[in-house]
Structure 1
Amino acid sequence: MTQGWFSKPVEVAVGIAGSIRHISNAQQAVELLTGQWRDAGSTLHASALRACRRAISGDVAADNAREAFISAAREAHVLVE
């Protein structure tokens, strides 16, 4: 298994204070997606979680998981653009 390193970190605002986190790999994304995620259970959330887990196991490219994570973060209004 690998951590599924992204080519570029994804910045998201998390928590009540909206502190910025730099998500650099699929493992960090899974931890965030399974923790305190605003739109947990949405289709994009499920797709991102699945893609990140597959990137960790080496079944998909890490940057495919990164794109899925970005889509979920945008939907949850936590993506810093």
Structure 2
Amino acid sequence: MMQGWFSRPVEVAVGVSGSIRHISNAEQAAELLTGQWRDAGSALHGEALRACRRAIRGDVPADAAREAFIAAAREAHVLVE
């Protein structure tokens, strides 16, 4: 069973067209972070990716990964607020 479901989805705008995606769990967030992420390599990006991977394994609460993902998305200007 996959770990890491967020208490609430996180909305991000992705791609050239800015399509809105609803990220519901750490696995989806990690997939997005390892794909074409605008600020890949930043400190917040790395923290979010590590937190998501740890949430998938069940080592940290999913909402800790959610908060890290939100911070990285805000930094990359893709968070829909």
TM-score by length of 2: 0.98
Q: Which runs of 4+ in 1 moved over 6 A?
A: none
C-alpha separation in 2, matches of 1:3 and 1:10: 17
Question: What are the within-5 Å matches in structure 2 for residues 31-70 of structure 1?
Answer: 31-70=31-70
Instruction: After TM superposition, give the deviation of residue 3 of structure 1 in Å.
Output: 3.5
Q: How many residues are treated as equivalent by the alignment?
A: 81
What SS does the corresponding residue of 1:7 show, helix, strand or coil? strand
Percent identity (aligned): 84
**Which residue of structure 1 lines up, in the alignment, with residue 4 of structure 2?**
4
Residues 10-44 of structure 1: CA distance to partner in whole angstroms, max 9, x if unpaired? 00000000000000000000000000100000000
TM-score by length of 1: 0.98
